[in-house]
Amino acid sequence: MADIARKESDIAKIQVKKADLLKKQADIEGKLLKARQELTKKEEQETRKRIQAQEREQKRLADLENRTQREKIAQQKRLQAEIEHTIQLAEQVSQVKAPEDSSTISEAKYDLFISHASEDKDEFVRPLAETLEGMGVKVWYDEFTLKVGDSLRKSIDKGLVNSKYGTVIISSSFCSKNWTQYELDAMVAQEMNGHKMILPIWHKVTKDDVLNFSPSLADKVALNTSMSSIEEISHELREVVLGVEV
């Protein structure tokens, strides 16, 4: 009977342990199920994020394509407007006549007309004009040519008409000035009449800056102050306007 009682006690203990193991097993299975559910949820979230990211990228590309197309159309319109404006200026320049009273105005012809913004005088334009003069190039430069009482517009027109070439110092200041635009338009008008005139110099600007200012001007081969010194630029200009290699 004592043995039976011990066996029954052992059985009871085993059953308790079994119940504990079953409970632990149920807990583990519950945690595993929860972990699987969370993994499935995260996978679904990641899938949604990936789809959303793809949709955003597709929308971005579509917006970029639309914006590029709009900019292309706007650029074409600007170019067309520039061409039409240039044609009008060509007609105006072709009608420009020399003043009847030539006794008060010099009959000198210039090799090179320098169009620039006043902000660029000290750093670049004045040294360039002085260097060119020293090389024997006859330049139209306002500080050399204009006198007290002169009409600015008439003097510029006279200088443009009597210059074989014109160099345009394209800078951020140049692009914002009305007078420089007037001078550039007059040079473009002469080129529309078949005379290659414009010799551009880029001064602290990028191709995009020039392209935004004038697409046709950005297409011309230009000298660049960030790549060449004043002396080197002067030599290049002299070679073109005088046809003399240095």
pLDDT digits (tens, 9 = 90+) for 164-196: 898 889 999 888 877 778 788 878 777 777 667
Predicted pLDDT of residue 85: 65
Average pLDDT, the chain: 81
Long-range contacts: 140-148, Cβ < 8 Å, 24+? 140/110, 140/112, 140/113, 140/114, 141/114
Mean pLDDT along residues 136-157: 68
**Residue whose token pair is 């001064």:** 203
pLDDT of 95 above 60: no
Query: Token pair of 70, please?
Result: 């709009």
Range with the poorest average pLDDT among 157-161, 191-195, 225-229: 191-195
pLDDT above 90 covers a percentage of the chain that reads 31
Which of 90-104, 137-151, 162-176, 193-207 is predicted most confidently?
A: 162-176
User: Is the Cβ–Cβ distance between 167 and 201 less than 8 Å?
Assistant: yes
Q: Which residues are catalytic?
A: 183
Predicted pLDDT of residue 55: 92
Q: What angle do helix axes 230-242 and 126-134 make, rounded to 10 degrees? A: 50
User: Is the Cβ–Cβ distance between 166 and 197 less than 8 Å?
Assistant: yes
Range with the poorest average pLDDT among 73-77, 146-150, 173-177: 146-150
Predicted pLDDT of residue 3: 87
